[in-house]
Structure 1
Amino acid sequence: MEGGSPRAEGSLLRERNPMKKTLLTANLTVLAAALMASSALAADLRILTAVTGGKDAAEHEQFVAELEEHLGLDIEMVKPASDYNNVLFTSLASGERYDLIYGDSSMLPGLIDQGAITDMTDMVSASAVLSDETAIPAGEWALFDIDGRKWAVPNKFEGGTLPTIRQDWLEESGMETPVTLDDWTAFFKWARDNKDGAYGLSTSKLYDIQGFMSAAGIKAGYVMEDGKRTIPYATDGAAEVYDWFAMLSEEGLLDPNFVTNGSGEFRNLFMTDRVAAVTYWDAWVGLFNNIMATDHPDSSFEAKGVAGVPGPDGDIILRRGNASLWMMPANAENPENAIKFLEFWHSEPGYVLGTLGVEGVDYTVAADGSYELTEQGQAHGMDHGAPRVTSTTWEHPFPALPGVEEAQEIIMEHASTEYLPAEWSEAQPIVEKHAFQAMLGEVTGAEAVSAMHAELLAAGLIDE
């Protein structure tokens, strides 16, 4: 049971699991067949979206109207209110057709296997906008690379998760930014002893302890080793980190409710002086600081993103979110118009629409060219599908929230996406069950990984 290295993964999406008798595969089979059905589309462009668009039905109409004005097309943009994935597969399976569909990189292998989407490599190459690496850097394409082909186009910049610390407490303690697990332990003890018994760390289940598992040089989810499925969190290397968490539990440094917490619970602890650090999205570093500065202007609160713990080889392994993508169905009737939309989306007017929203509704522009958010625009948080864009040259009309850019730099340097095939939904509860027992000190780390590995192997969820 050797720990897996993310360096051995190669192009993660290239791997295939031979045991694909899942509901997803069944849905995709129906989807592929449905994509061959013919139906007339009244619109010049038909899009199925999950996040891009207006925040409510009324604003969504205004959003589409602005799109139509920019593109000179009749556009239908369907945005389901909930349960997007089921809507995606069932609507297409029933015979509906789209020119673009929204999804993420975890969907690509199945959709490609089923012949459900179009290889967009040549279309991207032929587009001066989409092939411009200042608009979409090579690193963004690499997040969902499959044998050098481009099966989708990014929707937005996708961030990642990392440890986030009470920087004001750290400065008060006189300590340096934690690097090793011992450094973290020392800071957590200071917080407990000097901040009315505050916990050192809170999180939600195993989401996201990757910054600390990095100390063992292992990565969450699946890692392919010589074509075989492994789960590094179920290997011997993970045991020592589980034992570290058990020590935190024994010392009262780990929030005992991490097993049942949602993100709202640990966010609340962090903003009410009850915990010294959490693990969360890079964007939330800025949101924490903005919320506290707005609601509690006299508070000394300062959040800061921190890199994870270096592993045995000195590398830090953090998690980046799956790329959010626009994919073109295999039977798209208007591929030229789909590309026209994508080129708009990756240009300055598209950036403004995807962030600020609709002019006159979410923001206004003064005679001097300055932007001002309306009350509705402030409530919408400058997010209409792409709160952060992939462009390296576009300057957002409003400054970044405090701490975001520094946290994003850490993610860009150290984070990579996880490989979570369909069977992860069965493997995850097994991993969590045994990991929780170890982290709470009920069993040793070695006992946990031994039992975890045996159960995963017996269930056919790993190969070795």
Structure 2
Amino acid sequence: MKKLMVKLLLAALLMTLLAACQQTSTADESGEETDADQEEKTLRILTSVVGGKTPEEHAEFEKEIERLTGISVTIEKVPTDYDQRLLTSMSAGEQYDLVYMTKPMMDVLVDQGALTELTQSIQDSEILSDPAVIPTEEWELITYDDGKIYSVFNKFEGGTMPLIRQDWLEALGLEEPSTLDDYYHVLKAFAEQDPNGTGQDDTYGLTTAGLYDIQGFMSAAGVKARYVIEDDGSRTIPYATEAAIPVYEWFAKLYAEGILDPNFATNDSGNMQELFLSDRVGVVTYWDAWVGLFNNIRLNDDPNTSFMAKGLPGVPDENGEFMLRRGDPSVWAIPVNAEHPETALEFLEFWHTPEGNTVSTLGVKDLHYTVDENGEYELTELGEIANMDHGVVFPNNTNWENPFGTLPGVEEAQAVIIEHAQPEVSTADWPQAEKIVERYVFAAITGDMPAAEAVERMHGELLAADLIDN
């Protein structure tokens, strides 16, 4: 019996040695690994914003990522109902190596234990821990109370603000508005005084994409969107308080007089953009970056255009304070069931290098832009359509400079955001609360319900659902 055991142990040892020999046989004389010992790096990524604008461009974008990183990526881009798709996929245990989201959705998934903690990995990364790449204060936006971090930024988020047709103001001889009354008179003129010169009644003063984002006007009442968490931990939603009533009544007046686009509640951002670019509306509420993008689109269409978009700080409260919205951080996270978490982290480091900044903004070399022998960059026709946005408009990396410079008007708009914008507070409860808030605010604006009644019922329903504490 002992002899048999010895033979078995020797056989096992021999197999181990043979396996080791086979592994080391793939190394060359210098001891370095050859291609035969290296597994192909792959990633499966879910996103709503990153990649090409068409399926053909998207495939080229994936190839460009592989060329630059050596990682074979499959980027599944979901343009509509993204959060629902993300939640469904995660709940079903579908495996992705990286998923894109904003802070409110991250709050939900962190609460569910669905995301990998990245605190130590970020600290250990020379790229991600470099404050010149991602400023230290930015990390505070996505660090939880226990000091843990579960994601890495996709880009630097600016903020939302009223964007006005400055050329319409000048054409009609109007002053830049600063109070709600000022805005009413300017918006009424935009709707009634033929600012686009067509001779037809085909313009509105204002449009939005639902409540996205009326904060610049709610600022007049000192009312902040989403949650405010008091020192004792109690939750309030200022949009559901009496302070908001006068602003809802102001919107209702615009709606009743045909100054506010009647489709505001069902518009998506694309509808809003199209109305602004096609000379149909004088003010939209959108991102600071889009001041430059709007101006650039029209300049590309017609270098002699009079079109001029400008970002405004909204309306100050009685103390002269402005309250604009700083955008929810957009981030990449690694699910806990990811197959290739180390490769995912490698991709996140690449995303914040100059090469990653270039592909995420300009797109694919020789498809979206070209570089001549003198290092001069030029956008192709496809590049002009994409408008330097392949998921990122402004990278976090302060070491990177866009070779095309800054788009017209955007620096001034960003200065307003930096001075006046504040992050909003979201919790895991906000997606449920938002539905209630939207329903009653829409009812108040469209006149289906008096503003005071809408606020009272909104507050009561939120309280009954345990979504607020007072």
Q: TM-score under structure 1 normalisation?
A: 0.80
| Alpha carbons 1:48, 1:88 under 8 Å: kept | no
The alignment-based identity, stated in percent, is 52
* Partner residue, 1:100: 98
State the alpha-carbon separation in 2 of the partners of residues 328 and 245 from structure 1: 42
How far residue 362 of structure 1 moved from its aligned partner, in angstroms, is 2.5
**2:169 partner amino acid:** L
* Partner residue, 1:168: 167
Work out whether 1:221 is the aligned partner of 2:233: no
Query: Residue 94 and residue 261 in structure 1: after superposition, are their counterparts in 2 closer, same or farther (change >3 A)?
Result: closer
* Partner residue, 2:68: 70
State the alpha-carbon separation in 2 of the partners of residues 59 and 201 from structure 1: 34
* Partner residue, 2:212: 207
CA deviations on 1:144-176 (whole Å, 9 max, x unpaired) are 221243221101122332101111222345444
Q: For 1:390, what is the secondary structure of its paired residue?
A: coil
How far residue 351 of structure 1 moved from its aligned partner, in angstroms, is 1.0
State the alpha-carbon separation in 1 of the partners of residues 297 and 60 from structure 2: 29
How far residue 428 of structure 1 moved from its aligned partner, in angstroms, is 3.3
For 1:312, which of 318, 321, 328 is the aligned residue? 318
1:33-432 correspondence runs (5 A): 43-50=40-47, 51-71=49-69, 73-81=70-78, 84-85=82-83, 88=86, 97-147=95-145, 148-192=147-191, 194-195=193-194, 198-225=203-230, 226-330=232-336, 334-432=340-438
State the alpha-carbon separation in 2 of the partners of residues 294 and 113 from structure 1: 46
Q: For 1:340, what is the secondary structure of its paired residue?
A: helix
| Alpha carbons 1:202, 1:255 under 8 Å: kept | yes
Q: For 2:142, what is the secondary structure of its paired residue?
A: coil
Of 305-314 and 323-332, more deviation after overlay is shown by 323-332
Of 428-437 and 356-365, more deviation after overlay is shown by 428-437
| Alpha carbons 1:223, 1:419 under 8 Å: kept | yes
CA deviations on 1:103-143 (whole Å, 9 max, x unpaired) are 22223233323333232222222222212222112343233
CA deviations on 1:250-290 (whole Å, 9 max, x unpaired) are 55433334334444444444345443322122232223223
Q: For 2:264, what is the secondary structure of its paired residue?
A: helix
How far residue 92 of structure 1 moved from its aligned partner, in angstroms, is 5.4
Query: Residue 261 and residue 375 in structure 1: after superposition, are their counterparts in 2 closer, same or farther (change >3 A)?
Result: closer
* Partner residue, 2:28: none
The alignment yields a C-alpha RMSD, in angstroms, of 3.0
CA deviations on 1:167-216 (whole Å, 9 max, x unpaired) are 12223454443222122223234435533765432223322211100111
Of 224-233 and 343-352, more deviation after overlay is shown by 224-233
**1:151 partner amino acid:** Y
Q: TM-score under structure 2 normalisation?
A: 0.79
State the alpha-carbon separation in 1 of the partners of residues 449 and 78 from structure 2: 44
How far residue 97 of structure 1 moved from its aligned partner, in angstroms, is 4.4
Query: Residue 432 and residue 299 in structure 1: after superposition, are their counterparts in 2 closer, same or farther (change >3 A)?
Result: same
CA deviations on 1:52-81 (whole Å, 9 max, x unpaired) are 33445554454344433433x443434255
How far residue 307 of structure 1 moved from its aligned partner, in angstroms, is 0.7
Of 408-417 and 89-98, more deviation after overlay is shown by 89-98
How far residue 433 of structure 1 moved from its aligned partner, in angstroms, is 3.4
Q: For 1:379, what is the secondary structure of its paired residue?
A: helix
**2:140 partner amino acid:** A
**2:148 partner amino acid:** R
How far residue 291 of structure 1 moved from its aligned partner, in angstroms, is 3.1
**2:160 partner amino acid:** T
How far residue 238 of structure 1 moved from its aligned partner, in angstroms, is 0.1
State the alpha-carbon separation in 2 of the partners of residues 85 and 206 from structure 1: 18
How far residue 369 of structure 1 moved from its aligned partner, in angstroms, is 0.6
Moved over 6 A (4+): none
State the alpha-carbon separation in 1 of the partners of residues 433 and 341 from structure 2: 39
- Gaps of at least 5 residues in structure 1 are 1-40
Tell which structure's C-alpha radius of gyration is larger. Answer: 2
